Amino acid sequence: MGEDFTKQGVFSWNELMTTDVEGAKAFYGKLLGWTSEDKPMPEMGMTYTIVKVGDAAVGGIMSIPPEAAKMPPVWGSYVSVDDVDAAAKKTVELGGTVYKEPTDIPGVGRFCVIGDPQGAFLSLITFKMDPM
């Protein structure tokens, strides 16, 4: 990621939640030339796959979590914010919805998933480290 990935308002990460991580890795690897690196995250009970172009991390792939089992596979975007909790509160004040309350990602940062007044989803994140 570039040096400004943590700057307020910057699109900073893209992530695929899918029912077939191995299939997605193979498809996007062949289509886009991505390589992948699996990162065990035992504290979250999962493995997270970082996708790269050369040495640069450009996104991630993960299994759809059990609490979202009815959701179809989807790409999601993250935008960096200075304070996830404050941004979630402001979302509601502005007529939006918080779909996933601010939650810590151990060793990475804190995120939430919001919807704007029209219903479009977006993930907000405050990184504690580079998302590689």
Q: What is the pLDDT of residues 62-96, one digit of tens each?
A: 999 988 889 899 999 999 999 999 999 999 999 99
Is 100 part of a structural domain of the chain? yes
Residue 132 has pLDDT above 90, yes or no: no
CATH of the domain at 103: 3.10.180.10
Question: Does residue 29 lie within any of the structural domains?
Answer: yes
Q: Is residue 35 part of a domain?
A: yes
With respect to residue 132, please indicate whether it lies within any of the assigned structural domains.
Answer: no
Does residue 57 lie within any of the structural domains? yes
Q: Range of 68's domain?
A: 11-127
97 inside domain: yes
The answer as to whether 5 is a domain residue is no
User: Across the strands, what pairs with 47?
Assistant: 40
In the chain, how many domains are there?
1
Counting other chains too, the contacts that 42-50 makes at CB distance below 8 Å and 24 or more residues apart are 43/106, 44/105, 44/106, 47/21, 49/21, 49/25, 50/132
